[in-house]
Structure 1
């Protein structure tokens, strides 16, 4: 929360569209714990507003005149790190730029409502945006500390396998759940892993149109093969399968082979894709050597299923609070007693290899 917890969260809205600025101001103004202290039409005006108004959170458009949002974000994170939520359009180009913004230090993003949005969709957008703003407001000190650490493009320590596999990789899975802050945490984790591992399935809270590009960006930076999951495809060792945005993924066994099952059913825990759905699907397979991993994220999605898996004897690895951007989902697992180990992000690769290989280490 902000330094003074008795006052509302102060928000600055940066967008070149007057209509968008007015709509966002009105929707955020509905929440008594949020105060829109100013608006700016471009990054140069925003720079002056930040100095004068000292906001707790900024909402930032990506495409603006004179300086694009990502360039402004990089400058801001270098000079004055603070929580920024990107307002993005659900287009292919918008997806790529939004992922760049997350890599540059934005804490979250949300798709802009369309001009023809219904009252119900605007109400849902308002609720989600308000929640994201309140969560972001508590991340100021964490962002300052993160800015002092290595750049996001720094090489990762890569884990190496030693010894022999401890079990049949083709009959077991590694399942990873993540939300807010997860795109960067997943990148760091997967970059550190070798390809000689069981199939890895991932549910990251992400909208449709973003997941395929997210998978391609990961694939270009990892030794593992990363792709967006497809209905019915076989789950193969050494490959990572990203759940498509807007669908649920469950692993199923057909003819003795592990395969992908996608479905378009209702959201679970308000999410689609849902970590809970993926973890529960794995639990129905009764694979005793599978692993559940929970990374940074807002909310509690997946916590119940992960705790069930822990009680059934599966290895459950949870990212610790110090290395998580948001310790909602991981913290919910720990509170339920569902974590076999609570680890810093950079310790999770070695824990996975120790499980998969006798004597493996970083």
Structure 2
């Protein structure tokens, strides 16, 4: 029998500390070692208790979660799952080295709290298998040298070439490293990142400030065009469709696919059907198999397919499954994927 995942809860809210410590302890595979009321208490308890995973509220008194992560992870690279309200600082905490996050529920809804605990337990399981890389400096992405891209005939690729990218755990930062320096003439990129409602819009706005391409949360009917990155909205599937001479995206709610909504498989399967050989598929870090079959369908229709390599993944799950079933044509680190992508586009 596998050993239990040992968890330390860090939260300044008496209510949430109580809920988390009580409810997480009900899972057979989780052992709650205790709690800390703030970062100072957590720094004292972590060396003593040696948890496998820490759950962390981002907004805390004295030292916030982001500063805590910057101090903790270089000394002890422990997987951290953020437990936060809808707040842009979540992405700063992910940039500082946290591997997952869960949105805090509305306290008045017991069914919402139950779903929240189920999701948190699942994220703790994923985090326990994650590779944590301590971050030095202010950001994971700031030290990356700007690549020199091969020129492409962008006018020839307008409305013909589509890039589809799927990611989960560790994907928020890995995706930034892929797209942040891509030139404005890059064909449209459609992204599914497993993320709850509200956060996808903030994530798109964050990327739009960083990237040369325009980035925004997708809206049903958006036209796909060069220089535009569209991110699937949380709790909505996104697929590619054809409308006259244009590609468009359709955003819709339906049953979860591969355990997710949005699902990478939904996007990849639609791109395989609609764009066929005029497409590139990129599957990145994440737990499970979402996107693997869709990427195989893309490759079988003539698309060029890229998988993030094991060494650079926080969780080598989705790319591994895709590779094992023959969906991946080439593997590369998240930092090298932009070069691989542009070299391929230059051959079209």
Match of 1:132 in 2: 123
Q: Which residue is equivalent to 1:106?
A: 98
Q: Which runs of 5+ in 1 are unaligned?
A: none
Mapped partners of 1:30, 1:208: distance in 2: 27
* Corresponding residue pairs, total: 347
Q: Matched residue of 1:338: which SS? A: coil
Task: Give the secondary structure class of the aligned counterpart of 2:56.
Answer: strand
> Secondary structure of 2:102's match?
strand
Within-5 A mapping of 1:200-215? 200-215=189-204
Q: Which residue of 1 aligns with 2:317?
A: 328
CA contact (8 A) 1:81 1:147 kept: no
Q: Distance in 1 between matches of 2:309 and 2:99?
A: 18
Aligned to 1:303: 292
Q: 1:123 to 1:336 in 2, by over 3 A?
A: farther
**What's the offset of the Cα at 1:80?**
2.5
Q: Does 1:24 align with 2:20?
A: yes
- Kept after mapping to 2: 8 A contact 1:189/1:346: yes
Q: CA deviation at 1:295?
A: 0.8
| Residue pair 1:161, 1:196 contacting (<8 A) in 2 also | no
Q: Is the 8 A contact 2:191 2:230 kept in 1?
A: yes
Distance 1:303 1:149 in 2: 34
Give 1:252 deviation, angstroms.
Answer: 1.0
| CA distance in 2: counterparts of 1:104 and 1:36, whole angstroms | 24
Does the 8 Å CA contact 1:159/1:194 hold for their aligned counterparts? no
Equivalent position SS for 2:143: coil
Distance 1:202 1:73, change over 3 A: same
Whether the aligned pair in 2 keeps the contact of 1:15 and 1:64 (CA below 8 Å) is: yes
CA offsets per residue over residues 230-283 of structure 1, 9 Å max, x none? 221211101111111121111111111111211122222221111111111212
Unaligned runs of 5+ in 2: none
> Relative to 1, partners in 2 of residues 1:311 and 1:67: Cα closer, same or farther, differing over 3 Å?
same
Contact 1:269 1:301 in 2 (8 A): yes
Query: What is the RMSD of the two structures over their aligned residues, measured on CA atoms?
Result: 2.1
Match of 1:219 among 196, 208, 233: 208
Identify if the C-alpha distance between structure 1 residues 272 and 163 changes in structure 2 by more than 3 Å, giving closer, same or farther.
closer
How do 1:169-248 and structure 2 match up within 5 A? 169-248=158-237
Contact 2:305 2:329 in 1 (8 A): yes
Within the candidate set 274, 277, 280, 1:288 is matched to 277
Provide the residue aligned with 2:268 in structure 1: 279
Q: Is the 8 A contact 2:95 2:139 kept in 1?
A: no
Q: What TM-score results when the alignment is normalised by the length of structure 1? A: 0.90
Q: What corresponds to 1:58 in structure 2?
A: 54
Distance of 1:125 and 1:58 partners within structure 2: 16
Q: How far did residue 214 of structure 1 move?
A: 0.7
- Identify if the C-alpha distance between structure 1 residues 63 and 168 changes in structure 2 by more than 3 Å, giving closer, same or farther: closer
> Displacement of 1:117 after TM fit?
2.6
Q: SS at 1:162's partner residue?
A: coil
**Residue in structure 2 matched with residue 34 of structure 1 by the alignment:** 30
